[in-house]
Amino acid sequence: MTARQKDGPGNPPREGEGLDRLLEAESALRARQVEAEAEAARLRDEARAAAAACEGQYSADLAAATEAAAARIAVERDTAIAQLQAEAGARVARLRSLPDDRIEQLAVMVMERVLPLPRGGTA
């Protein structure tokens, strides 16, 4: 009978070998645990680095979008101001082109609306 057959299933190990095997198994398990913990730490660090990279990219994207929106708003604002100024200039030009008698009529009409005559007739 070989040594392997002697301590196989159903055959008890020789005296002292069982304890040695347990100590070897425990040592191997501890080494495996250390490896697994190191691997877990490495994976955790990689995940944190990836998350930080994503956060940085999202921050850059947000900054770019904010800058683009601010530029677009500035253009829209400037366009609106230019339109208002053009409309105001056109209205001023129209008023300046009115003959004096028409301006007098408009002034009377405005005054009648703003300062209504007291009841009973004339002022």
The better pLDDT of the pair 122, 50 is held by 50
Confidence category of residue 115, pLDDT binned at 50, 70, 90: confident
pTM of the model: 0.48
Q: Decide if pLDDT at 41 tops 80.
A: yes
Helix, strand, coil percentages in the chain from 3-state DSSP, rounded to 5: 80, 0, 20
Q: Decide if pLDDT at 48 tops 80.
A: yes
Q: Decide if pLDDT at 1 tops 50.
A: no
What's the pLDDT score for residue 67? Answer: 97
Q: Which residues 6+ apart lie within 8 Å of 6 measured at CB? A: 13, 14
Contact 39, 29 (CB under 8 A): no
